[in-house]
Chains A and B, each alone.
Chain A
Amino acid sequence: MDEQEFTAWAVGVERRLLRSAYLLTGDLHRAEDLVQEALVKVAMRWDRLRAGNPTAYARTILVRDQISWWRRRREIPVEEVFGGAAVSSDPDVAMVVRRSLQRLTAAQRAVVVLRHFDDLSVEETAAILRVAPGTVKSQNAAALARLREGAPELLELIGRGR
């Protein structure tokens, strides 16, 4: 295995993966664990993955590990610890986003993060979540509707940003 090549790749993607994992979990420590585990699994298969798309592979592991974790617990726990200042230059925005995402189901939250933060297509999102593209579309629509209805403070922030 070319460890230098792996490390160069990891340096380039890990921050984005960590931010994505944080949005999925709302817990920075859990997010770090998820990213570390994904990178270990990529490293184990680096010789096979290096010519392909190791980032997509890492993201798939990360999301599926988190979904499995959620399902074992059957609900998204309310995170007690909030390090707003540690995650955002704007702690108020961080707080609103975190609370808004907590209103979503596990599947809705994953779809929102993959589509609106990771900028993946419907098809790419469906492949990661192992669902039909139509399910991604309906989950996304349901998530946005729930945010509109249940998180007016999020709408306010979006309106203020325009």
Chain B
Amino acid sequence: MKGLEELLDRATDAIESHLDHADVLVRARRRRTRQRGFVAGAVAGAAVAAVVVSLQVVDGESQSHEVPPASQTPSMSVRDVRWDPRDVADLPPADADVAPLLPDVLEVPDVAPRVEDDPVDAAVLSVDDGADVLLLGTDGRWRCVVVDGKTQPPPVLSPRGTRVAVTVVDGVVMVDLTTGVQVRRPLPDGFTPSSRAPVVRWVDEQRLLLSDGEGAWLLDADRGVEGASATARAEPEWTLGLPELDPAATGWEVGPVAALADGSALLRVTPPRPREPKQWWVVRWDPASVDLALAATVESDAMKHVSFASDLLGDS
């Protein structure tokens, strides 16, 4: 539309700025001070450490299966964490090439087409809304997966987002998102999903690792239980040190989402509840430079029951 540029220019030609630069500098200084002041003194050894699940899973014929670590879990350490999660909304936006599949602002819809009616190449993340599982496709559209009898632990998305595992009362339903086909596998004998710290995690796009703290099992989407170990323990995949942040005092939580190819990490930052508007954030953290930036703002109630396709997010 020729002439639009000139009109926009004319429509604003009397605007003058009266910003107080001294005030801008004071505000910037105050925020920087607050970030630094929150950590009183350098914190040696504060770390985002990928504590890899290391298991020797032995099948019925005493054949050993080495469970590979979750991919892209570099060991990271940082000397000093100068950040207060309560300032998360003040972080600058991350560069556009950081987790490009993650929208800047993410709104979880109330309804979406079922994945069997509208399959998707892969999903970036899944959200358990209590009733169904909602999935954000790599095409930017939402789908849903409906599984009867869904229970805890919450659904888990595979590293490249082609499958989601949904725990049900008597088994695990593995849903192929590229077709919508659901495969229901019974829970391995001995597995207690109600244990204090059950782990359900995809090893790759095909195999699921189940652990209840006492034992661990490998469940193949096509072949069922592949191996088990009565003694192996699954350690947390990540631990995050923000030693000066007392979660009990603030109620804020910071947890891992994915490791990116450049060595930085995506973290989930969730505020205490209740809070309005209902928001939480995905933050990129470069442990080397202690540089933090906002990768996404999520507008949703579902703060905890979100699973990310970690390898997919790491693609640039």
Contact = CB atoms under 8 A, between A and B. Distances in A.
Given A147-B1, A162-B3, A23 B11 contact: yes
A80 interface: no
A88 B92 contact: no
A70 B296 CA distance: 15
B11 A40 contact: no
Interface size bracket, A side:
35 or more
Given A64-B93, A68-B297, A72-B299, A97 B15 contact: no
Contact of A60 (B3, B14, B93, B103): B93
A96 B11 CA distance: 9
Nearest to A28: B15
A44 B35 CA distance: 11
Given A14-B17, A41-B90, A154 B7 contact: yes
B32 A116 contact: no
A85 B16 CA distance: 12
B7 A130 contact: no
Given A11-B21, A161-B6, A71 B107 contact: yes
Give chain A's interface secondary structure class. Answer: helix
A97 B11 contact: yes
B21 A10 contact: yes
Given A45-B92, A148-B1, A158-B7, A19 B12 contact: yes
A97 B8 CA distance: 7
B8 A64 contact: no
Contact of B8 (A23, A35, A85, A89): A23
Contacts of A112: 4
Q: Is the interface of B mostly helix, strand, loop or mixed?
A: mixed
Contacts of A7: 21, 25
Contact of B105 (A43, A71, A93, A97): A71
A87 B9 CA distance: 11
A88 B14 contact: yes
Interface string A84-123: 0111111001101110000000000000110011010000
A117 B5 contact: yes
B11 A94 contact: yes
Interface string B84-108: 0000001011001000100111010
Contacts of B93: 60-61, 64
B223 to A, nearest CB: 39
Interface in B6-44: 6-19, 21, 23-25, 27-28, 31-32
Contact of A116 (B8, B17, B107): B8
Interface of B: 1-19, 21, 23-25, 27-28, 31-32, 90, 92-93, 96, 100, 103-105, 107, 277, 279, 297, 299
23 contacts: A6-B25, A7-B25, A10-B24, A14-B17, A19-B12, A23-B8, A32-B18, A36-B24, A36-B27, A41-B90, A60-B93, A64-B104, A67-B105, A72-B279, A87-B14, A90-B10, A93-B7, A97-B7, A130-B104, A144-B1, A154-B7, A158-B4, A158-B7
Interface of A: 3, 6-7, 10-11, 14-15, 18-19, 22-23, 28, 32, 35-36, 39-41, 43-45, 57, 60-61, 64, 67-68, 71-72, 85-90, 93-94, 96-98, 112-113, 116-117, 119, 127-130, 144, 147-148, 154, 157-159, 161-162
> Which 7 pairs across A and B sit closest by C-beta, in order of nearness?
A43-B28, A158-B3, A97-B11, A19-B12, A117-B8, A127-B96, A14-B17
Given A35-B17, A72-B277, A89-B14, 18 more contacts: A6-B21, A11-B21, A14-B19, A19-B12, A22-B12, A32-B19, A36-B27, A60-B93, A67-B104, A86-B14, A88-B10, A93-B11, A97-B8, A116-B8, A130-B100, A144-B1, A147-B1, A161-B6
